[in-house]
């Protein structure tokens, strides 16, 4: 059996069973498979498949996946990652290919089922609800369909579903500008999980509670507990606020809608309130999802300043929209984040039912963070606790920068194995650069000049992105 043979047979068998069994729906197909059929359409390609325009894909996103499923060399390649699908299965007695259409199929499906069943275990079947249902009850099969279905990522979390809804909602050219204000990510596009993070006990407890609330939101609605699901993450830049919100979306299979309030700038004056409304409407249409509002201190800054009236209207609209959205009623988990909780006023604070603190990590946490972010590195006689002791005041984002510098320095010496000394030197270099960044470079100038920086940019911008603390 060549590499990929089992994968291609599983793809063909899944498509065949799904086509015949009308009780199955999109949420039964493994995500890698349904993505292929979601975007399949009209107009032949090199293997005879069809291709839809973006507008047609959007309409299909609303209507579901059409039967029969097209199993060609190209769709099999896209679904399985096998470069030559027909080459992988051409030696089997029960497969055939139509040279004209490129369609791959079985000459004897019963023989294909026997061949497949002899080579898979329950763990693999649980990754495929279609086949878990088909083989449920057979001798030696303990995988249950309902369990497989629960474990399978729902279609609403797929990129194709999200794109279909966005294309439909932002049909007008003027509305497309709104997409500049939001960043919508499918769970599959988020490369960090909660297991990749080092969290405090309080952070873990709050995440566990909100995960349970999401899981049991129907029960909470039944008992009338609706004021839940609005969190505010507070803490210095680089302490993991954005990463934790994204990781929660990944682990809970929820679309992630992120908006930075500072993006509501003068170019949108006159339309700001409308755009805030649309941001919340996007979240409601993609529900269940997480709506993450970064730079929440922008609310307080705008409310007490002499900013343009349109911006103030936008902030008032934002606060009203927060009041009107609910995890229980709308399936939207709202998470706000701020680096400056001291700047928030009472009107901002009372919008949230839970406050989650993200402090700078202590020595033990820094040691744990170093252990996590060096998992794939080769470091001789590595002592993370020793490095943690000399990095007082550094955040997880800072520690990642230290590791990056150590790696780059080693590469200049053509080394891919690091030493403890490399890390110690990198800490010294980081602290030196940090001191330079924070000092006045010109006597009498009260604004520090940072090479390559934007003199008008906030000193907090960007530090909360991409860290794993």
Total number of domains constituting the chain: 3
Structural domain contains residue 160: no
Residues 383 and 343 in one domain: no
CB-side neighbour CA atoms (13 Å) of 3:
4
Asked if residue 367 and residue 251 are part of one domain, the reply reads: no
Tokens 């057979």 locate to 138
Checking if the pLDDT of 179 tops 60, the result is yes
User: Are 344 and 368 in the same domain?
Assistant: no
Same domain, 306 and 455: no
Residue 27 within any structural domain of the chain? yes
> Average pLDDT, stretch 104-128?
95
- Whether residue 163 is contained in a domain is answered as no
pLDDT of residue 257: 94
Q: Are residues 230 and 305 in the same domain?
A: yes
Pair (126, 183) in one structural domain: no
pLDDT value, residue 145: 95
pLDDT band at 374 (very low <50, low <70, confident <90, very high): very high
Is residue 32 a part of any domain in this protein? yes
Residue ending a domain, choose from 338, 357, 376: 357
CATH number at residue 284: 3.40.50.300
pLDDT score recorded for residue 56: 32
Q: What is the 3-state secondary structure (H, E, C) of 124-193?
A: HHCCCHHHHHHHCCCCCCCCCHHHHHHHCCCHHHCHHHHHHHHHHHCCCHHHHHHHHCEEEECHHHCCCC
Q: Are residues 227 and 206 in the same domain?
A: yes
Inside any domain, residue 164: no
82 or 275: which leads in pLDDT: 82
Question: Is residue 136's pLDDT more than 50?
Answer: yes
Average the pLDDT over 189-201 and give the result.
93
Q: In b/e form, how buried is each residue of 21-35, taking b as 16+ CB within 10 angstroms?
A: eeebebebbbbebbb
Could you tell me if residue 281 is inside a domain? Answer: yes
Both 78 and 181 in a single domain?
A: no
* 240-250: average pLDDT: 95
Instruction: Identify the domain boundary among 326, 341, 357.
Output: 357
Q: What is the mean pLDDT of residues 40-68?
A: 45
User: Is residue 196 located within the same domain as residue 343?
Assistant: yes
Give the structural domain span for 78.
5-153
* CATH code at position 369: 1.10.8.60
184: left (phi over 0), alpha (psi -120 to 50) or beta: beta
Asked whether residue 159 is assigned to any structural domain, the reply reads no
pLDDT at 447: 36
Q: What percent of the chain has pLDDT over 70?
A: 78
pLDDT confidence of residue 461: 37
The residue-averaged pLDDT of 134-149 equals: 93
Asked whether residue 84 falls in the same domain as residue 224, the answer is: no
Q: How confident is the model over 429-467, as pLDDT tens digits?
A: 998 876 666 655 444 443 333 333 333 333 343 333 344
Domain membership flag for residue 456: yes
Of 164-173, 268-277, 392-401, the least confident = 268-277
Alpha carbons within 13 A on the beta-carbon side of 311: 18
Query: Which residue among 357, 389, 408 closes a domain?
Result: 357
Does residue 188 sit in the same domain as residue 334?
yes
User: Percent of the chain having pLDDT more than 90?
Assistant: 55
Average pLDDT over the chain, rounded to an integer: 82
- Look up the pTM and report it: 0.76
**Residues 184 and 331 reside in one and the same domain:** yes
């Amino acid at each position: 059996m060549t590499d990929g043979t089992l994968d291609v047979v599983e793809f063909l068998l899944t498509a065949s069973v799904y086509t015949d069994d009308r009780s199955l729906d999109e949420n039964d197909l493994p995500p890698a498979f349904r993505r292929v059929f979601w975007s399949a359409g009209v107009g032949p390609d090199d293997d005879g498949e069809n291709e839809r325009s973006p507008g047609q894909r959007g309409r299909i996103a609303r209507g579901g996946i059409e039967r029969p499923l097209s199993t060609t060399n190209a769709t099999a390649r896209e679904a399985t990652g096998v470069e030559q699908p027909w080459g992988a299965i051409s030696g089997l007695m029960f497969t055939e290919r139509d040279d004209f259409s490129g369609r791959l199929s079985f000459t004897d499906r019963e023989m294909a089922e026997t061949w497949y069943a002899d080579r898979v275990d329950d763990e693999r079947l649980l990754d495929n609800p279609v086949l878990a249902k088909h083989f449920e009850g057979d001798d030696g099969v303990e995988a249950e369909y309902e369990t497989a279905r629960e474990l399978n990522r729902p279609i609403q979390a797929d990129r194709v579903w999200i794109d279909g809804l966005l294309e439909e909602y932002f049909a007008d050219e003027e509305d497309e500008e709104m997409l500049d204000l939001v960043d919508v990510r499918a769970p599959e596009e988020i490369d960090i999980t909660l297991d990749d993070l080092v969290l405090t006990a309080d952070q873990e407890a709050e995440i566990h509670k909100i995960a349970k609330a999401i899981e049991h939101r129907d029960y909470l609605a039944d008992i009338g507990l609706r004021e839940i699901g609005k969190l505010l993450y507070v803490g210095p830049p680089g302490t993991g606020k954005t990463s934790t919100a994204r990781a929660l979306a990944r682990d809970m299979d929820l679309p992630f809608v992120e908006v930075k309030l500072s993006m509501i700038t003068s170019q949108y004056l006159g339309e700001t309130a409308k755009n805030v409304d649309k941001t919340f409407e996007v979240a409601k249409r993609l529900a269940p999802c997480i709506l993450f509002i970064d730079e929440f201190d922008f609310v307080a800054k705008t409310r007490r300043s002499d900013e343009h009236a349109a911006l103030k209207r936008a902030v008032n609209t934002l606060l009203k929209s927060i009041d009107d959205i609910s995890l229980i009623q709308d399936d939207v988990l709202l998470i706000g984040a701020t680096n400056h909780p001291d700047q928030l006023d009472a009107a901002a604070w009372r919008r949230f039912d839970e406050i989650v603190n993200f402090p700078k990590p202590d020595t033990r946490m820094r040691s744990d963070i170093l252990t996590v972010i060096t998992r794939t590195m080769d470091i001789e006689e590595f002592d993370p606790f020793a490095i943690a002791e000399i990095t007082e005041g550094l955040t997880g984002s800072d520690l990642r920068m230290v590791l990056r510098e150590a790696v780059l320095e080693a590469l200049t010496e053509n080394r891919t194995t690091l030493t403890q000394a490399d890390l110690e030197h990198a800490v010294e270099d980081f602290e030196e650069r940090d001191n330079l960044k924070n000092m006045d470079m010109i006597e009498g100038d009260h604004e520090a000049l940072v090479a390559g920086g934007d003199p008008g940019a906030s000193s907090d911008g960007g530090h909360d992105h991409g860290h794993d603390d």
